[in-house]
Amino acid sequence: MTRHIFKLVWNRKRSTGLIMVEILICFLVLCGILASCLHYLGLWQRPLGFDHEDVWVADIGGMSWQQVEDDESAVNGQTMSNLLRAVKSLPEVEAVAASTNQPYSGSSWLDRIWIDGKPAALQLTMTTPGLMDVFHIELLFGRWLDDTDAAMNYTPVVISHNLARDMFGTDDPIGQDMPTFDDNGNPITATDAETTSEEDAKIYRIVGVTSVYLRYGEFGPRPYTMFIPVDLISGDELPHGIVIRAQPGTTAAFEEKLVRTMQSIAPQWSYDTELIESRRRGVLFEKIGPLLTVAVVALFLIFMVGLGLVGVLWLSVTRRTAELGLRRAMGASGASVRRQILGELWALTAIAVVVGAVIFLQLPLFGANFGASWRVFFGGLTLATLVIYGFVTFCGLYPTWLATRIQPATALQYE
C-alpha cells in the first residue's frame, strides 16, 4: 500500500509539487524556531553562579578613569572605604562590596590568557571581600578574599571552576600561580622578569575556586573569571560601582536613603542606582525579543501556509471527483478513501521532511550553528517532524472529509 501511495504521488508530481513546497517551507521554519527554543531552554537551565534578587547597584560618576597621582589615589581609596562602611551600617543592608564587571552590565574588563596554545578571554573582576556575601557566590574549594590580602607579597585571587579545569586539568589549583604569557602566547618565566612590565611581573596566586560566574546572564557565554582584591589603601584601580544586598522585603524607598547616605560621604561623586533585577529584565528582553518577533512572523507564515494547504487539497479532491467516485462505486468505503488521501499527504510530507532535514543539517557543517550543539539541532528536527505531521493532518481533515462525501453516482457525470 505504501509503495502504491508513493507511486500515485510521483505520477501527480506536477499537481502535488506546490503542496510539497509549502510543507517544506513550514518544516524549515519549524526547525529553526524549535531548535532555537531548545537552545535557549538549555541555556536557561544553567546555574548563574550568583543570586541577583534583592541586590542594588550604584554606578559611581566623577571618579577619574585615567591614571592619577598616588596621593589622589589614596584619597579615593579612603573615600571608597568610608563609603562601604556607611552603606553597610544601614539597617536595610545585608552586605556591600565594590566591584567591576557587575552582572548584567554592558561594561567588561578582560585580559587575554592562553590555554592549550589557544588565546582565550579572561574576565577580571576587581572586588572587595563583601562580593561573595552580596551575590551568594558558591565557593567550591579554598577560601574567599579577605581584608588581609593587601599585606601579602603576592596577589591572592579566586578563579571560576571552568578556568581551573581548563587551565590545570585534574591538578589542584589551590596554591598555584596563574601563568603569564607574552603577546605570542609564550609563558613568561622567572628569568624573563627583567624584560617584563610591572603588571606582568605580579604574582597572582590562587586561593579559591568558585562555581562558574555567568555575569552576562542566562543566555550569555561561560566566561573564564578571576576575582582580584581591591587595594583600598593605595586606591589603585578602584571599581566604579558598588553592589548592595538589601534585606528581603526592602521597598523601593530604600533607594533614596541609599543615595542620600552616599552623597553625605562623597558629595564629589555622582550615583546612578538601580536593581540588578531591572538590568536582568533589559538583558533578557534584548536576547528573547528578536526571537519572539521572528516566532510571531513565522507562526503567521505557517498559518497562511496552512490555509493555502487546505485550499490546494480541496482543489485536488474536487479534480479527482471521478476517480474517488469510481472507487466508491467499486466498493471502497469512506474510511478507505480517507486513508488514501491522508496517506498521499503523509507521503508528500515525508519527502519534504527528508529534503528539509538535509538542508537544515547543513547549517552546523558550515559553522552557522549560532552556538547550538548537534543535540539541539537533532532535537529541533525531531520536534519539527512531529509538529509538521500533526499540522498537515489537521489541514487535511476537511478535504478528506469532502472526499468521503463523494457518492458513487457522482462518477457518472465524468467521462
Q: What is the pLDDT of residue 326?
A: 58
Residue 301 lies in a domain: yes
Residue 273 lies in a domain: no
Please, what is the end-to-end C-alpha distance for the chain in angstroms? 27
Residue 51 lies in a domain: no
Question: The domain containing residue 297 runs over which residues?
Answer: 2-45+284-413
Strands 204-210 and 155-160: parallel
Residue 164: which residues within 8 A CB-CB, separation 6 or more? 173, 206, 209
Q: Does 197 lie in the same domain as 315?
A: no
Q: What is the pLDDT of residue 226?
A: 94
Say whether pLDDT at 377 is over 90.
no
Q: What is the pLDDT of residue 333?
A: 63
Unique residue bearing C-alpha cell 596554591: 175
Indicate the average pLDDT of the chain.
Answer: 81
Q: Does 294 lie in the same domain as 210?
A: no
Q: Does 141 lie in the same domain as 8?
A: no
Task: Report d(CA 365, CA 327) in Å as an integer.
Answer: 48
pLDDT per residue as tens digits for the range 213-238? 998 888 888 889 999 998 887 777 78
Average pLDDT over residues 69-81: 79
| pLDDT-above-90 percentage for the chain | 26
Say whether pLDDT at 72 is over 70.
yes
Residue 309 lies in a domain: yes
Higher pLDDT, 68 or 373: 373
Say whether pLDDT at 408 is over 80.
no
**Alpha-carbon torsion (107, 152, 96, 47), positive or negative:** positive
Q: Cα angle vertex 222, ends 217, 227, to 5°?
A: 90
Q: Does 342 lie in the same domain as 295?
A: yes
Q: Does 351 lie in the same domain as 263?
A: no
Residue 340 lies in a domain: yes
Average pLDDT over residues 344-366: 83
Least confident window among 96-100, 119-123, 296-300: 296-300
pLDDT per residue as tens digits for the range 117-132? 888 889 999 999 999 9
| pLDDT-above-70 percentage for the chain | 79
Confidence of residue 247 (pLDDT cuts 50, 70, 90): very high
C-alpha cell at 263: 552623597
- Cα distances from 118 to residues 114, 163, 173, 199, 392, in angstroms, run 5, 14, 20, 22, 49
3-state SS class at 152: coil
Q: Does 145 lie in the same domain as 80?
A: yes
Q: Which of 219, 240, 268 is the last residue of a domain?
A: 268
Nearest-10 crossing angle of helices 334-360, 2-11: 70
Residue 123 lies in a domain: yes
Q: Does 97 lie in the same domain as 9?
A: no
Q: Which of 236, 268, 300 is the last residue of a domain?
A: 268
Q: Does 102 lie in the same domain as 39?
A: no
pLDDT per residue as tens digits for the range 263-292? 999 898 899 999 999 999 888 888 888 888
Average pLDDT over residues 43-47: 88
Q: Which of 268, 302, 324 is the last residue of a domain?
A: 268
Confidence of residue 139 (pLDDT cuts 50, 70, 90): very high
Say whether pLDDT at 394 is over 80.
yes
pLDDT per residue as tens digits for the range 2-21? 665 566 555 565 666 777 78
Q: What is the pLDDT of residue 291?
A: 82
Q: Does 141 lie in the same domain as 111?
A: yes
Task: Count each helix (H run) and each strand (E run) in the chain, helices first.
Answer: 13, 10
Q: Does 38 lie in the same domain as 88?
A: no
How many domains is the chain built from?
A: 2
Q: Does 300 lie in the same domain as 258?
A: no
Q: What is the pLDDT of residue 407?
A: 61
Higher pLDDT, 160 or 233: 160
Average pLDDT over residues 51-69: 78
Q: Does 315 lie in the same domain as 258?
A: no
Encode burial over 18-31: b for 16+ CB neighbours within 10 A, e otherwise.
ebbebbbebbbbbb
Confidence of residue 198 (pLDDT cuts 50, 70, 90): very low
Residue 277 lies in a domain: no
3-state SS class at 176: coil
pTM listed for this prediction: 0.78
The answer to whether 279 and 55 have CB atoms below 8 angstroms apart is no
Unique residue bearing C-alpha cell 510571531: 296
Neighbours of 51 (CB within 10 A): 15
Residue 125 lies in a domain: yes
Neighbours of 189 (CB within 10 A): 10
- For 243-296, the DSSP string reads EEEEPTT--TTHHHHHHHHHHHH-TTSEEEEEEHHHHHHHHHHHHHHHHHHHHH
Q: What is the pLDDT of residue 403?
A: 65
Say whether pLDDT at 197 is over 70.
no
Higher pLDDT, 334 or 159: 159
